[in-house]
Amino acid sequence: MTAQPVGWRKSSRSAQETDCVEVGRCGDGAAVRDSKHREGGYLTVSGAQWRSFVAGVRAGRFDG
């Protein structure tokens, strides 16, 4: 992906916590970064990968 991420936000479930990740739009996909170390870069995924991840979270596939 060559587009720069825009519209960084964190989950509403994070409330006022500072130890979380942020997600930004990046082309047709998403970018993810650590909210404590924003200068450390970000990971990008395609739209299909992001939708698959979100579906897995909603289905509880990553619950410990």
**Which domain range does residue 39 map to?**
20-58
pTM of this prediction? 0.78
* 7 within a domain of the structure (yes/no): no
* 2 within a domain of the structure (yes/no): no
* 14 within a domain of the structure (yes/no): no
Per-residue pLDDT of the chain (64 residues; tens, 9 = 90+): 458 999 999 877 776 777 788 999 999 999 999 888 888 999 999 999 999 999 999 999 998 7
* 64 within a domain of the structure (yes/no): no
Domains of the chain: total = 1
Distance separating alpha carbons of residues 60 and 64, to the nearest angstrom: 9
* 8 within a domain of the structure (yes/no): no
* 53 within a domain of the structure (yes/no): yes
How many of the other CB atoms lie within 10 Å of CB of 33? 18
* 48 within a domain of the structure (yes/no): yes
* 5 within a domain of the structure (yes/no): no
**H/E stretch holding 19:** none
Average pLDDT value for the chain: 88
